[in-house]
Every structure is written in C-alpha cells, then in structure tokens.
C-alpha cells in the first residue's frame, strides 16, 4: 500500500514568466537526523527524506484561473529534480513530523 499523496506548490520563474507548479508526491522514507561525534565514534550524517513525485501540474501565475500547461518530458524532469522542489519536500517532511505550522 502506497503512503498518502501530499501536495505542495512551488513558484518558478522561467523565461521571464512566473509559474506555479503543483506537485503531488509521497514520502518513501522520512529524513533522519545525524548523530554527534564522540571520542570513540565519528558520528553519522543526517539523511534526507526519500520521495516519489507522482504528478506535476504547471500553471501561468500571471493569469486568473489559468489552465494546466502541457509539459514536455524534459521540463517535467527538470522541475521534478530541481533544488526548489527538493527543498520544499524536505521542509514539508520536517514540518509534518514536528507539528510545525510555519509560525514561531
């Protein structure tokens, strides 16, 4: 059974046009924190969350009620592997596991 699909939105600027990507994904493995080194153990680095992107929808942000744009395969891959998307999903994973609502 697959975990529940989650959705985030990420803003992009491509060719001087603002776009909003709606990304549906699920987390395969949650991130883990690293362990500090000691006198006898070098410590372990943290591990990022592992995720699978199911669907990417791209819309022009400058229009009212814009249609979903058809993505060529190369652009779908480029968006899915971008640092913006990875960072947004890693942040989502951390916030969902720590009951963080975005406010201090």
Give the tokens for residue 29. Answer: 């493995």
pLDDT at 66: 82
Does a structural domain hold residue 1?
yes
pLDDT digits (tens, 9 = 90+) for 76-98: 999 999 999 999 999 998 888 87
pTM given for the model: 0.78
User: CB under 8 Å to 103, separation ≥6 — which residues?
Assistant: none
Residues comprising the chain, all counted? 104
Per-residue pLDDT averaged across 47-54, rounded? 91
pLDDT at 17: 85
Confidence band for 52, pLDDT divided at 50, 70 and 90: very high
Per-residue pLDDT averaged across 1-15, rounded? 85
pLDDT at 53: 94
Among candidate residues 50, 54, 40, the one with its CA nearest the CA of residue 8: 54
Task: Give the Cα separation of 38 and 44 in Å (integer).
Answer: 11
Task: Give the Cα separation of 14 and 68 in Å (integer).
Answer: 16
Position 16 pLDDT exceeds 80: yes
Does a structural domain hold residue 99?
yes
Domain encompassing residue 100? 1-19+73-104
How many domains does one find in the chain?
A: 1
Does a structural domain hold residue 37?
no
pLDDT digits (tens, 9 = 90+) for 23-41: 999 998 888 888 888 888 8
């Amino acid at each position: 059974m697959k975990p529940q699909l989650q959705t985030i939105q990420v803003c992009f600027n491509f060719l001087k046009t603002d776009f909003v990507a709606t990304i549906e994904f699920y987390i395969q493995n949650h991130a883990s924190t690293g362990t500090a080194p000691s006198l006898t153990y070098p410590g372990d680095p943290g591990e990022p969350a592992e995720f699978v992107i199911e669907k990417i929808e791209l819309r022009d942000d400058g229009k009212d009620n814009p249609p979903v744009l058809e993505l060529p395969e190369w652009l779908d891959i480029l968006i899915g592997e971008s640092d913006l998307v990875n960072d947004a999903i890693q942040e989502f994973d951390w916030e969902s596991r720590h009951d963080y609502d975005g406010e201090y």
